[in-house]
Amino acid sequence: MTINWRGLLQRHGLILAFGLFLAGVALGNDAFLTPGNILDVLRQVSITGLIALGVTFVVVTGRLDLSVGSMLTLLTVIVVDQHNTLGPGLAILCTLLAGLAIGAWNGLLVGYLGFNALIVTLAMLSLLNGVTLWYSGGSNVNVVGADQSWFGVFGRGSVAGIPVPVILFLGSAGAASFLLRRTVFGRSVYAVGGNQVTSVFSGIDARLTVFCAYLLSGLATALAAVVMGSRVMGAQNTIGQGYELTVLAGIILGGTSLMGGSGSIWRTVIGIAMLGFIQNGLLLMGFPYYVQWLVTWAIIIAAVWIDLAAKRGKVFA
């Protein structure tokens, strides 16, 4: 019996390469693999990670959500601004509802009316940029009386030495994983992404499933906005710019296919964490900031290439 190298490489190739990278950086830098630095990286990726959890549902149905970056901006502005008028509790509630409403609108257009997901969410990105500027009047907002508010706990607090954002991220990941892996809804998500026609013939409400996936994407982004607002204690009109691409990069890096029908939450968590550690490692090694972007690009291309090579392997096995 020979070892199936190709299969092994396909399933664990990226994680192997990632392990080598971690070992390499750790050898050259004592500060890298310390508990403090690991928690620091996890804290840094928690906002991207929270959003990615929701977007994973959308991607598994075979759709995209490019509106999460500008959604993050708007929702952060809302939570910070409302904190000053309604207080933290109601501000958070407002933000979650706003996230669900935006998700519902995307879900309505893509799920029920069958519009192209790329176009719908790209248009939403533009719309939300406009709404943000209108809402904020173009100026930055800040939390007034930050010292007296418990709002800071989401971004800055910690429990037993573990930052609250990390707890929120990993806790939500556990819940999301259960939802996707074990429930009727999760199975429907995989089915719709795998073959929508078969799903309909099997009595699955494909439109509702897609709609709910976008709801989750909105909800996850709202949670991320609460963490973001709490950490920064303020919001600029560009605070979420580019997040949609980082989120997508993490999901792809984890090995979830953009074609839909496969993937998982733990893959997304690993993909997002890998992005974080790579960026952190490069900084510790003293590379200038822009190198992160070049390396991220290279890694994504490598991930897609390995995925493709493995699929070719099936045909010419």
Partner 1 sequence: MNQTVLSVSGITKTFPGVRALDDVSFDIRAGEVHALVGENGAGKSTLMKVLAGLYKPDSGEIVHRGEAVRLTSPLEARNRGILLIHQELSLSPELSAAENIYLGAWPTNRLGVLDKRKLRADAQAALDALGCDFGATARVGTLSIARQQMVEIARAQAFNANLVIFDEPTASLTEGEKVQLFQTIERLRAAGVGIVYISHKMDEIFEITDRITVLRDGAVQGTVETRDTGIAEITRMMIGRDLDSYFHRARADFGAETLRVEGLTKAGLFRDVSFSVREGEVLGLYGLVGAGRSEVVETIFGIRKPDAGRLFWRGEETAFPKPRKAIEIGMALVPESRKEQGLILGMGGRQNITLPHLRLFSRLRVMQERQERAVFDRYRERLSIKTTGPEQPVSLLSGGNQQKFVLAKWLCAEPKLVILDEPTRGIDVGSKSAIHELIAGLAEQGLAVIVISSEMPEVLGVSHRVLTMSEGRVAGEFSGDSMTEQNLIEAVSRQAPAAVESEVA
* Of 161, 203, 242, 288, the one binding partner 1 by CB under 8 A: 203
Dist. CA 11–CA 5, nearest whole Å: 10
Dist. CA 230–CA 221, nearest whole Å: 14
The region of 147-155, 187-195, 227-235, 244-252 touching partner 1 under the rule CB under 8 A is: 187-195
Place of tokens 């089915």: 191
Q: Is 183 in the site for partner 1 (CB under 8 A)?
A: yes
Q: Is 11 in the site for partner 1 (CB under 8 A)?
A: no
Q: Is 191 in the site for partner 1 (CB under 8 A)?
A: yes
| 107: its two tokens | 């879900």
* Of 10, 106, 177, 188, the one binding partner 1 by CB under 8 A: 188
Place of tokens 């892996």: 181
Q: Is 190 in the site for partner 1 (CB under 8 A)?
A: yes
Q: Taking the CB of residue 297, how many other CB atoms lie within 10 A of it? A: 11
Residue with smaller CB distance to partner 1, 160 or 184: 184
Residue with smaller CB distance to partner 1, 45 or 265: 265
Which residues lie closer than 8 Å to 111 by C-beta, 6 or more apart?
A: 206, 207, 208, 209, 210, 211, 213, 214
Residue with smaller CB distance to partner 1, 144 or 311: 311
| Min CB(197)–partner 1 separation in Å | 5
What residues are paired with 141 via a beta bridge? 235
Binding positions for partner 1, 211-240, rule CB under 8 A = none
* Of 29, 142, 262, 292, the one binding partner 1 by CB under 8 A: 262
Angle between helices 35-60 and 68-86 (to 10 degrees): 110
* Of 205, 284, 304, 306, the one binding partner 1 by CB under 8 A: 205
To 10 degrees, the CA torsion angle through 124, 125, 130, 131? 60
Residue with smaller CB distance to partner 1, 170 or 200: 200
| 143: its two tokens | 């939390």
Dist. CA 167–CA 236, nearest whole Å: 25
Q: Is 185 in the site for partner 1 (CB under 8 A)?
A: yes
Binding positions for partner 1, 278-317, rule CB under 8 A = 316-317
| Residue 59 · residue 256 · CB < 8 Å | yes
Contacts with partner 1 by CB under 8 A lie at 4, 182-188, 190-191, 194-195, 197-205, 261-262, 316-317
